[in-house]
Amino acid sequence: MCKFYNPSTQYRGCQYFNWYDEDQCQWQKDVINQLLLDKKLLKCESEMLKVENGHLIEQKKIMSDEIEILNLKLKLGEKQMELPSNGSNEGQVHFTLATMLKVGLVLVVVVVLVKLFGRSI
């Protein structure tokens, strides 16, 4: 407590305050510099991941649109397959086309999953 402090008035007297702190040692400077460097590196990595995430979101939207188109083609192929055939091999052709569309759709879904999640599936 300051020797000029008056508890009844809470007056501090000289109004002088001096902060004393020793200079930083080399170890402290090294730690602080390393932490600042780590912070900059993490910020750069974060920015790169944000950009990559934006690209992946765009790719996901494009592939979702492709899947929707293939689903529509698949439904169209299934409807055409349901049409009665007049004794020709038309029904077989429609069945083959529908099967090919289903296989294509499965392949597109696999490609989308691999691109989105890497090779972990």
Residue 117's SS3 state is helix
d(CA 29, CA 105) in angstroms, rounded, equals: 59
Q: Could you list the mean pLDDT of each consecutive 10-residue stretch along the chain, which spans 121 residues?
A: 70 65 89 97 97 93 89 79 58 69 79 73 47
* Cβ neighbours around 108 below 10 Å, total: 16
The DSSP call for residue 88 is S
User: Which residue type is seen at 105?
Assistant: L
CB-based contact 105:71 (threshold 8 Å): yes
pLDDT for 121 equals 47
Residue 104, Cα to own-chain centre: how many angstroms? Answer: 27
pLDDT for 72 equals 86
Nearest CA-CA partner of 70 in 115, 109, 116, 96 = 109
Q: Look at the pTM and tell me if it is higher than 0.85.
A: no
